[in-house]
Amino acid sequence: MINQIITILILSFLVDCWRGYDFNAIIKNTDRFHPYKYSRDLKFKRDVKAAFKNSRHDDEVTRNYFKQIQKLITRRSFAKNEKNETTLIIGAGPVGLLAALEKYVSGEPHIILAEKRNDYERNVWFDLYPEPYSPAFNILYELGFGSQQIEFQSQKMTNGSAITIRCQLLERFLSKILFVLSILDPSLVLLYGFELTSVLFSPRSVVLKSLVDGRILVPFHRLIACDGYNSRTRFLLKIPTKVVDEFTIFNHKVHIKNLHQVSVIVGFKPTNSSSSCPELRADPFNPDSTIDPWMPGFMVNGISSIFKRFYHGHCHMQILLNKVFGEKFLINSHVNVDWVTILQMVNTVMKHPYTNVEQLKRSITTKTDGSLDLVILKSQILKSDDNHYSLGSGSSLTLRGDASANAHFRLGVGVNTAFISYRYHTSQNLSRYLREEYVRKQWEAVVNNMVGTMFLETYCNYVIFMDKGERGDRFDKYEPGKMIVYERDFKNLDYVQVKERQVTKCIREWTQ
């Protein structure tokens, strides 16, 4: 028996050595962290515990990283909630990860985060904005972002610089923090590879299914759905969404029936082995920057704006069309795609315009089914009636991110709003009621701005910018930014702020 135990220990040691990894490299390099893989790696878990205890760790980056972890644990100890309740979060994208971290820091006694994926592979990019638009920068650096080797791009804004980061890297960065915390504190549990299959009412619980571990029953007191636009949680609980076609501007409440916008999304191939995207035209007034999103509207009648998501081999272009042109384009596309017009629109932003349609088609990526990566779609803002629901017996449901309302890609507000929620909910100066109230008001303002922007840019051919909002000495006094309306000055290729009466006139034209 003793010989068998010794043999098992030796084999276990040899397997660990054979598997091998550079622990410090995983801590420093976010792209090397895979949550499902390391959640089943006992050696890695032992190394995490050892590194956390070793305050004099040889590697400075690793040492500083664990100092940040200790700060989160300390904050939790001061905010400890005595109620023995479980918070279950469905979906571990950026919104779900931030929700889990928020609940941990704010002292929730038991937190379970469930994600159906085993790894993070999404290549979409998020724009993270600085204060006062969003606390994303400050929160990320509080969490040790500065010590991580993370690939991102900076872009200049009027009031500071935004950064653009790949979704999967943001997810790996946040999940690594939660993973380390879950090893050190058993009150936080991460379940990767588990999909929600049903919600039970007696007892209040959910059934999660894993291909490896089978089905498990998870009781909860608070359920937070962060599982995206096609929310499985919302579907199982039969919570409907509806088209949002009302917004407020200049104290006028506006209702536009069937409010929508037609968009063209094109995916381009990288131009070389270094995964560079096609070069973009320089801004005529600022040669150090690429052409601004609204400038194509000066060149081609019918374009509202073109947003270029060209980052490190991920080359997506989003062409937003105005109402009249968009309707015709959508109807015609059901019969035959107007490639000549698409060529004309794409060339407004390219440094090296395509000479013909065939050259353009060769530059577009191909999907797995062999078709070109080009989509023409009708976009609408869909929203649930509320963000919070009582499920009876003292339990509740909260919808967050796209599970509550799908974000218009023109604005990309979902992730920044999640950071705002994190900041409010981890404040020790606010009651739970005030935290929820501030987050609700912020989300309502975001939805209003999304809907208003869609109408004013699509139906009125205006250009919408957001002011930076107003913030007092305390962050909880922040008033969200409002829409500032401009029109194109074709003579000077510039934007001129419009009067309230001009906006009112356009509203009347579409509401009569």
With bands split at pLDDT 50, 70 and 90, how would you rate the model's confidence at 300? very high
Please tell me the predicted confidence (pLDDT) of residue 2.
Answer: 42
Closest C-alpha among 119, 118, 83, 85 to residue 223: 85
Coil vs helix vs strand at 490: coil
**Across 5-19, 327-341, 357-371, 446-460, least confident range:** 5-19
**Across 16-20, 203-207, 309-313, least confident range:** 16-20
pLDDT at 17 over 60: no
The model carries a pTM of 0.85
pLDDT at 100 over 80: yes
What is the mean predicted confidence (pLDDT) over 128-151? 74
pLDDT at 217 over 90: yes
With bands split at pLDDT 50, 70 and 90, how would you rate the model's confidence at 146? low
pLDDT in tens, 377-402: 888 888 898 888 999 888 999 999 88
pLDDT at 481 over 80: no
What is the mean predicted confidence (pLDDT) over 264-273? 87
What is the mean predicted confidence (pLDDT) over 456-470? 82
With bands split at pLDDT 50, 70 and 90, how would you rate the model's confidence at 449? confident
Report the chain's terminal Cα–Cα distance, integer Å. Answer: 88
CB atoms within 10 A of CB 63: 17
**Across 152-161, 279-288, 368-377, 418-427, least confident range:** 152-161
Please tell me the predicted confidence (pLDDT) of residue 15.
Answer: 43
**Across 14-23, 73-82, 83-92, 248-257, least confident range:** 14-23
What is the mean predicted confidence (pLDDT) over 194-199? 95
pLDDT at 266 over 60: yes
List, as own/partner pairs, every contact residues 207-213 make where C-beta atoms lie below 8 angstroms and the sequence separation is at least 24, other chains included: 208/114
Please tell me the predicted confidence (pLDDT) of residue 3.
Answer: 47
With bands split at pLDDT 50, 70 and 90, how would you rate the model's confidence at 19? very low
Burial code (b: 16+ CB inside 10 Å, e: under 16) for 398-425 equals bbbbbbbbbbbbbbbbbbbbbbbbbbbb
CA distance 59 to 37: 24
| 6 or 184: which leads in pLDDT | 184
pLDDT at 110 over 50: yes
What is the mean predicted confidence (pLDDT) over 159-185? 84
Distances 345 to 31, 76, 263, 330, 482 between C-alpha atoms, Å:
35, 52, 12, 15, 30
Task: Give helix then strand counts, H and E, for the chain.
Answer: 16, 25
pLDDT at 273 over 60: yes
